[in-house]
Homo-oligomer: A and B are copies of this chain.
Amino acid sequence: MDAAEFRRRGKEMVDYVADYLENIEKRPVYPDLEPGYLRSLIPNEAPLEPESYEDIIKDVERVIMPGVTHWHSPYFFAYFPAASSYPAMVADMLCGAIGCIGFSWGTASEATLISLLAARCKAVRRVQTINAKKSESEILSKLVAYTSDQAHSSVERAALIGAVMMRKVPTDNRYAVRREMLKKMVEEDKAAGLIPFYFCATLGTTPSCAFDHLTELGPLCNEENMWMHIDAAYAGSAFICPEFRPLLNGVEFADSFNFNPHKWLLVNFDCSAMWVKERADIIGAFKMEPLYLKHENQESGLVTDYRHWQIPLGRRFRSLKMWFVFRMYGLKGLQAHIRKQVALAKEFESLVRADKRFEICAEVVLGLVCFRLKGSNELNQELLKRITKSREIHLVPCQLSGRFVLRFAICARTTESHHIQQAWQHITQLTFELLQEASH
């Protein structure tokens, strides 16, 4: 769907929305279907080839609407109101288009926290099974979690919220955690009377897109009864391409896995997907059952009550946009998007490598290039300052082995080779001026 088609389809959708809301009271307010009805109506796999918009929109009435409880029907009197107004909907269209992420991107943080809390609950129960006399607070004070020294700040924050210790595991020269490094810390902590219970592995770290060694770390976590969560927020989308799939080897040892389709899979913010091996581990940690939230199907196993899986009770109907995207692009279209962006990163890498004043600071695996001017941190800080000040392109820095490094990430769906070339020309122009001034 290009801009021209969006103009047409968007306007049709405006009419559909208005028709839906003007006639909502003619629909049964509450669905007359058994849970699980959806399974037979949709294919088991995302489509390989893109589908037509007509086919998708036909399925809205065939597949989606029969299962909807119409919260905006005037015959809906349950719970409390869920607000709805036309201005808010128009605004939300604009909100979706701007698609900015308030002070950074998102909800992989929540997935990390949820997995840590589930692991905490499981560990407390396990220890109490062995030693019933130990109090919960005594056990909590001894729990220790681990993550890479390259992991996202949200991992450390999860431990802070969960009131447990968190240790940073040092990484190798490719910024990845290896088995021996984690094993050493775990042994030391066990000898000191602590209880290792959780390891958050990262596939595609934020600073340099490094990959922890799951095939080494997974068996260790399993041996030590430690929950292994995988944070693949960015890189996870790339695993739809067979050539990147080996980076995921070892996932079979994980207890939970998360990635953000809203990062690299063309689904507007926010949309974060989490898998968990034993759903009972998550549900057991949070379940609450007040009467006003009880429903007929909760014990049948037919319904997945996601409210037990997360911190907020409610969530937007975010899978809808994922469904549209999967169908409109097809697997092939999504793979083409990932591959194109990786190629653009490689193109930028080549430009940097061809210029002897610069160096590449980490292997370019996906769409991120970490680079810097050979020389001091101050020099690179000054270069970034000038890039930021000129406002033609936008980069952020990171720190790798104590060095100030520039991160060049391929982001927008619309970035093409000529944008890369122009960005590099701009960077080299600023570099030329900077080095000339420095030499005077």
Contacts and interface: CB of A to CB of B under 8 A. Distances in A.
Q: Which 7 A-B pairs have the closest CB atoms?
A: A106-B314, A137-B141, A10-B14, A91-B321, A91-B324, A153-B288, A88-B321
A102 B324 contact: no
Interface string A264-290: 111111110000000000000110111
A104 B323 CA distance: 22
B88 A100 contact: no
A13 B94 contact: yes
A395 B77 contact: yes
Nearest to A93: B13
A104 B79 contact: yes
B89 A93 contact: yes
A90 interface: yes
Contacts of A72: 97-99, 412-414
A426 to B, nearest CB: 9
Contacts of A261: 83
Interface string A60-93: 1000000011111111111111111111111111
11 contacts: A10-B17, A16-B94, A71-B99, A72-B412, A78-B407, A83-B261, A83-B266, A88-B321, A102-B306, A106-B313, A291-B397
B291 A95 contact: no
Interface in A97-141: 97-107, 109-110, 113, 117, 120, 135-138, 140-141
Contacts of A71: 98-101, 411-412
Nearest to A328: B87
B80 A411 contact: yes
A261 B74 CA distance: 19
A325 B85 CA distance: 8
Contacts of A157: 286, 288
A20 interface: yes
Interface residues of A, number: 155
A264 to B, nearest CB: 5
Interface in A1-57: 1-7, 9-11, 13-18, 20-22, 24-25, 28-30, 32, 53
A268 B140 contact: no
Of A9, A97, A117, A263, which is in contact with the most chain B CB atoms at under 10 Å from its CB? A97
Given A102-B314, A161-B311, A292-B397, A415 B74 contact: yes
A423 interface: yes
B407 A98 contact: no
B163 A140 contact: yes
A416 interface: yes
A305 interface: yes
Given A89-B93, A106-B314, A74 B414 contact: yes
A159 to B, nearest CB: 11
Interface string A222-253: 00000000000110000000000000000000
Interface in A391-432: 391-399, 407-416, 419, 423
A307 interface: yes
Contacts of A410: 77, 81
Interface in A304-360: 305-307, 311-318, 320-325, 327-329, 341
Nearest to A419: B74
B320 A94 contact: yes
Contact of A321 (B95, B117, B367, B416): B95
A255 interface: no
A245 B70 CA distance: 32
Contacts of A162: 161, 163
Contacts of A171: none
A361 to B, nearest CB: 14
Contacts of A77: 393-395, 407-411, 423
Contact of A83 (B20, B98, B265, B396): B265
